[in-house]
Structure 1
Amino acid sequence: MTVAAATLASFAGTQQLFGKSTVASPSNLKGEEINVKHFGAKGDGKTDDTAAIQKAVATTGNRLFFPKGHYKISKTILIDLAKMGYASIRGNGDAQVIMAGAGPAFKIAGTHFGSADPEGFDKKVWSSERMPIVEGLSIEGQHKAAVGIEALGTMQLTITRVQVRHTLHAIHLRENNRNLIIADCHLYENHGIGVFYDGVNLHQSNITGSHISYNKEGGIVTKGGNIRNIHITGCDIESNMGSDKAPTANVLIDCSGSAVGTAEVAITGCTIQHNRNAPNSANIRIIGKDQSGIGSEKERWGNVTITGNVLSDVMVNIDLQYCRGVVVTGNTIWQGYDYGLLMEGCSNVVFGSNLFDANANYPSGTLPSNKLLVTNSEDCTFSGVQVYGSKDSPGLVVRDSKRINIGNCSLLSCEKVGLLLDNVTDSKVSGCMITALNPDDSSFEPIQSIGGHGNKITD
């Protein structure tokens, strides 16, 4: 046989394996990328393709391909990494999986319940389970309890170029996972949460370049668990609120029910905004544990960097409750209708050069309050912060706090009082510019101090 003839024969064999009319023989497909239609999936949006897809998974193992079509399923497709080995679920952007039943469309389950330390790995995890991939698919929920992707026991799970819509939670992280990457995804209009860290033990996760919008119970949410090293970078995170459940936020880190909390978080280069119509809405809300009084350092969770973001159009732009070790710098922040910043029970928080603005180019019919309120906190610094246009209140209020350093800040166009210190001790204010909304208002007080002691106000 000539080389050309051999090449044609090889191509013909490939066509027989992946052509429309052939049902694949399972005996020789292990390790091949398998078109689910060759196991009887119709992809017509009407036929229940659950059994056909699960058969493809069980028979061929690890490389599942969805060609163009709408694949309706009624039960979860289980990707059992211990049985399958290396796994990928792939489409080319023109395939949609419709979850018509309760539970996740895809459940990816591994056996890694340790850390990311190489010394602690079971050999089987590294040799056959690492880096399961989901890419190039759309997942649509048609059941109120449908979920997009659920993961537990995974190492290096990578989800990229995936759209999830109309589910409960788009991506649900449970039990134990390590080294997660979510990139270039659209998690949109789900009635639960976009990315849900649900009581999970998960260190090292990156969420980058994604649109996470209109998820009614939060965009990116952590609750309970043992969570470290979350990087949220270059994302558009919008209007993830609307449920009656409170508190709602575009980014919510809730450590109140966890013994070890969430920490080591970087939120950088994102637009995070909307919706002021939701009660108690916030763009970024971090909740530690109330230890009932200054000086209780235990369980003030944090070690968070918030930098280079654009935040706007909610009731509270940044809400920090019982946090420690937070740096907020280089952000453009406006339209905080109750507060630009709400901070309670915190320590070792640094606010660098941030702008809290009331921008007239965004008419809304309701002027934002935009004020900064700090209560029951200690050892915090405000440097180079500018607040413009605080409505009916001081631009910055510090109450029941100690060792607060406020320097080189601009509190502009404030009403009644620029800076209010109420029962503040051992603190310093220096080099600030404070102006009234109405320059002719003779009753305006740049700085008002009530009670407290040991404070120094200069320049």
Structure 2
Amino acid sequence: MERLNLCFRITITSLVFFLVPLLCSAQGNNIYVSSFGAKGDGKTDDTRAINAAVLSAAKNSAKLYFEKNKTYLVDTVSLVGTKATPFQKLEIIGNNANIKCINRGSNNVFKFFFVNGLSISNLNISGNKAQKKDGNGLAVYYSKDLRIVNCKIQDCKFSGILIAWVKSANVSKNLIFNNGDGTLPSDGVSVHSLYQGNISSNVIYNNNPLDTQDGDGIQIGSIKYGITGYYDVKSIQKIEINNNICYLHGRRGIKIQRSNVVAENNFLSDNAIGVSIVNGLDLINNIQVKSNVIQKSYKGITLDGGGKQNISDVNISDNYLLGSIMTDRILLQDASGIKIARNTFDRHRIKVFDAKKKMVNYSNILVSKNVQDVDSSQSRLVDLNGSVSILATKLPSVGLNKIENDAVLRNIIAKTTNYKAPINGDVFCVFNNAIVNRAKVVVSYKGTSTPYILDKNKILVIYSFENKLFSFRY
């Protein structure tokens, strides 16, 4: 009996020693890039070490940690699964570490193929476009359940974030700027074939910003066929684009090229077009453009069905269209089933002249051609007769219609900020409080001082319109 009890105790003890490592592993591995030799000293090439750490974390469905505030030099960080054997669950926690690209070719700084459950947070990525190297900043292909939050991505040759053939994605609270070198169409967030997702509360600016460059703040591309089988392209779900700040892009603040999209509560400034709905591969329908502030663009909201009336069922309501250089604030072409209601225009605020100094008379809402079934409760509806179109050759040159003084652009992080706005000219400031909770911003304008209290990680936009100061907070 004693021998039996002894054997039982030995068996139980052995079982415990066998199970403990498995239980610890199951309860969540933590992997650190430093354990694989990454220095983070801003001098050492950490490419090999970080790639090894990423691969190990992906194989173990683990959390991967960078060291706080360190700077890692990398060529390309890459993780490639397959459709048959994708990686499952990888969480990368940046801890505000800096990834500085030393790309020797034209690859993306980070690229992931077939990685499901990928989460990336609090990572700062700087590209290498000054040396005409690297591609996109962070690119994810053929994956499910993507999350990119609280990252900063800048100075990449092409787009800041590229998402392609992904089933679901959450892209929020990122700062994305100064991407694109003009050689190819490049955006802050470039989306191709996304089944469903949310793009919210990002600050996106200065990506391919020149009027000769093709750059969008957020680009929602067409659904492409026959790639992964992750979803039925004919039953795509909603993409929500809300509470983003997008400014200074050569083309559009937001471009929509597929069905089932809501663009709501965004602040769009200094883009060629505020929101553009463009002909895609299929009929585009079920689009809502609501409660956006769109200012200082050549055109506010445009619909272009590409000559085939390929856009239908669009709701444009409760938007503020302010200070557009071209005063046809909403332009409709090759579309049907359009509802327009309760939009506010600053009609004739800016007088536009042609080359002979003759004032050009534009309309708030312009129907160009091939448009049917427009339902409008717009009290200031103008020129809805389908007989007027504006050719590019007739547009006034930039030099003849400048808005008085350039906009004031600021990105300020401070505990207490005092800002005195110019008496004359336009005001456009972005205050980004990323450090101190309950920071105080005092804005003085035309002799009046207005205090604003900002919680940590909140954003305040200050802009003027018709000599009045307005705020827009996130």
TM-score interval, smaller chain: 0.5 to 0.7
Distance in 1, matches of 2:128 and 2:294, equals: 33
**Match for 1:183: what amino acid?**
S
* Cα separation, partners in 2 of 1:307 and 1:152, compared to 1, 3 Å: same
Query: Any conservation in 2 of the 1:313–1:337 contact (CA below 8 Å)?
Result: yes
- Compare 55-64 and 371-380 and name the one that shifted more: 55-64
**Cα shift at 1:302:** 2.6
- On the 8 A contact 2:109/2:137 being kept in 1, the answer is yes
Q: Which residue of 1 aligns with 2:109?
A: 105
1:320/1:344 contact within 8 Å kept: yes
Q: Which amino acid aligns with 1:105?
A: V
Query: 1-side partners of 2:353 and 2:264: how far apart?
Result: 31
Kindly indicate which of the two structures has a greater share of residues assigned to strand: 1
Rate the CA distance shift 1:71–1:35 in 2: closer, same or farther, 3 A.
same
Aligned residue number for residue 85 of structure 1: 88
For 1:380 and 1:77, how far apart are their aligned partners in 2?
49
Q: Name the SS of the counterpart of 2:297 in structure 1.
A: strand
How do 1:282-431 residues align onto structure 2 when only pairs under 5 Å count?
Answer: 282-288=273-279, 299-322=282-305, 323-338=311-326, 339-358=328-347, 369=362, 371-375=364-368, 376-386=370-380, 395-400=382-387
Q: What amino acid does structure 2 have at the position aligned with 1:319?
A: T
Name the CA shift for 1:385/1:321 in 2 (closer, same or farther; >3 Å): farther
Q: CA deviation at 1:203?
A: 1.2
* TM-aligned CA deviation for residue 69 of structure 1: 0.9
Answer yes or no: is 1:251 the counterpart of 2:254.
yes
Separation in structure 2 between the aligned mates of residue 90 and residue 363 of structure 1, nearest angstrom: 51
- Shift of the 146–43 alpha-carbon distance from structure 1 to 2, 3 Å rule, reads farther
TM-score by length of 1: 0.64
Letter in 1 for 2:76: K
> Which amino acid in 2 is paired with 1:327?
N
State the distance in 2 between where 1:185 and 1:325 align.
Answer: 31
CA distance in 2, matches of 1:60, 1:284: 40
Match of 1:139 in 2: 125
Task: State the secondary structure of the residue aligned to 1:274.
Answer: strand
How far apart are 1:285 and its partner, in Å? 0.8
CA shift at 1:253, angstroms?
Answer: 2.2
Q: Give the structure 1 partner of residue 266 of structure 2.
A: 270
Residue 230 (str. 1) matches residue 230 (str. 2): no
Structure 2 partner of 1:404: none
- Check the 8 A contact 1:63/1:87 in 2, yes or no: yes
Structure 1 residues 363 and 51, CA, compared in 2 at 3 Å: closer, same or farther? farther
Q: Residues 299, 75 of structure 1: CA spacing in aligned structure 2 closer, same or farther, 3 A cutoff?
A: closer
Structure 1: which 5+ residue stretches go unaligned? 1-27, 112-128, 242-247, 255-261, 276-280, 290-297, 388-394, 402-459
Residue 218 (structure 1) aligned with residue 220 (structure 2): no
SS in 1 for 2:55: helix
Instruction: Quote the Cα distance in structure 1 between the aligned partners of 2:177 and 2:292.
Output: 21
**3-state SS of the aligned residue for 1:399?**
coil
Amino acid in structure 2 at the alignment position of 1:103: N
Distance 1:213 1:180 in 2: 21
- Verify the 8 A CA contact 2:114 2:143 in the aligned structure 1: yes
What CA RMSD, in Å, does the superposition of the two structures yield over aligned residues?
2.8
Seen in structure 2, the aligned counterparts of structure 1 residues 365 and 41 have a Cα distance that, compared at 3 Å, is: farther
Q: Distance in 2 between matches of 1:92 and 1:105?
A: 18
In 2: Cα distance, 1:303 partner to 1:263 partner:
6
By how many angstroms is 1:107 displaced?
1.7
Q: Which residue number corresponds to residue 162 of structure 2?
A: 172
Name the residue aligned to 2:15: none
Q: Which amino acid aligns with 2:336?
A: S
- Could you say which residue in structure 1 is the equivalent of 2:152? 163
Deviation at 1:165, TM superposition (A): 0.4
Per-residue CA deviations over 1:160-181 (Å, capped at 9, x if unaligned) read 001110111111112x211110
Distance 1:38 1:170 in 2: 29
Query: Counterpart of 2:75?
Result: 74
8 Å CA contact 1:377–1:400 kept in 2: the answer is no
CA distance in 2, matches of 1:264, 1:385: 28
After superposition, the Cα gap between the structure-2 partners of 1:228 and 1:396, relative to the gap in structure 1 and judged at 3 Å, is: farther
CA contact (8 A) 1:355 1:385 kept: no
| 8 A Cα contact 1:374 1:398, kept in partner | yes
Query: Whole-Å Cα distance in 2 between the matches of residues 364 and 32 of structure 1?
Result: 63
Can you list the C-alpha shifts for 1:65-120, whole angstroms capped at 9, x where unaligned?
A: 11121111112332648475320111222x11112213222222227xxxxxxxxx
Question: Is the contact made by 2:187 and 2:207 (CA closer than 8 Å) also made in structure 1?
Answer: yes
Conserved? CA contact 2:173–2:200, under 8 Å: yes
Distance 1:76 1:222 in 2: 25
Q: Distance in 1 between matches of 2:352 and 2:123?
A: 38
Work out the CA distance in 2 between the residues paired with 1:231 and 1:77. Answer: 29
Corresponding position: 1:184 with 2:178 = no
Residue type of the alignment partner of 1:139: I
Report the secondary structure of 2:49's partner residue: helix
